[in-house]
Structure 1
């Protein structure tokens, strides 16, 4: 999947990503401010989460559930991570074993911990309101 879109079309893009992803581990690559968190917010909404997604920058992970309390997704932001041991210390392996969607920002910080079949999403700036996204299996 490769597409160019306006930021106003983010919900449609989220639907397309969820439909096209061959598994539930999604790794988001792109420059600061390109819209990784914005897309993840839309993905969480499309999955039917009760809470509105926000960036877990300082807590490293946010959890999202549906109205019945079932875990839908975990959103990781590893930007401030110093090394992979920090991810292991927080139980990242347990999250990988869950059945929930995993949305991982800054996966390059934990490269050796990412499953081989993880989905790679590359986001790029086109202009102030336009982005491109490319979805590939790692």
Structure 2
């Protein structure tokens, strides 16, 4: 799936993404400011998360409950120095829990990524629009 959108359309984009056949682990690639966290917030909202969502930049992981009483884990690996830090927080347990795992900056933990995952790549293009490519 490939789409171009503006931030005003992000709710509809989140719905389109969730309508696809996705793996529980979704990797988010994109430069700083491309809209990864904003998209994840809207995906969480579309999954029925009621609590406020924010980037886990300092905590590495935030946990949310969806409308179906399932868990959603949002990871931000930007600040980790090595994969050992991810091991230390028990990341493998999260990744193989069967719950949603949304991971920003997955390139920092290449050896931890499960074989079964989906990928979302976002990049800024002209006029503040974004281009999104989803592979599952």
**Which category of TM-score, normalised to the shorter sequence, fits these structures?**
over 0.9
Question: SS in structure 1 opposite 2:110?
Answer: helix
After TM superposition, give the deviation of residue 23 of structure 1 in Å: 1.1
CA offsets, 1:110-136, max 9 Å, x none?
011111221111101113430000011
Structure 1 partner of 2:95: 96
State the alpha-carbon separation in 2 of the partners of residues 39 and 29 from structure 1: 12
After TM superposition, give the deviation of residue 65 of structure 1 in Å: 0.8
Relative to 1, partners in 2 of residues 1:67 and 1:23: Cα closer, same or farther, differing over 3 Å? closer
CA offsets, 1:10-30, max 9 Å, x none?
011111111214311100000
After TM superposition, give the deviation of residue 99 of structure 1 in Å: 2.4
Structure 2 partner of 1:108: 107
Ranges in structure 1 where 5+ consecutive residues have no aligned partner: none
Q: Tell me the TM-score normalized by structure 2.
A: 0.94
Q: Tell me the TM-score normalized by structure 1.
A: 0.92
Aligned residues between the structures: 136
Question: SS in structure 2 opposite 1:112?
Answer: coil
Structure 2 partner of 1:58: 58
The answer on 1:5 being equivalent to 2:15 is: no
CA RMSD of aligned residues (A): 1.4
Question: SS in structure 1 opposite 2:37?
Answer: helix
State the alpha-carbon separation in 1 of the partners of residues 23 and 135 from structure 2: 11
Relative to 1, partners in 2 of residues 1:77 and 1:128: Cα closer, same or farther, differing over 3 Å? farther
Question: SS in structure 2 opposite 1:26?
Answer: strand
Relative to 1, partners in 2 of residues 1:61 and 1:128: Cα closer, same or farther, differing over 3 Å? farther
State the alpha-carbon separation in 2 of the partners of residues 55 and 128 from structure 1: 25
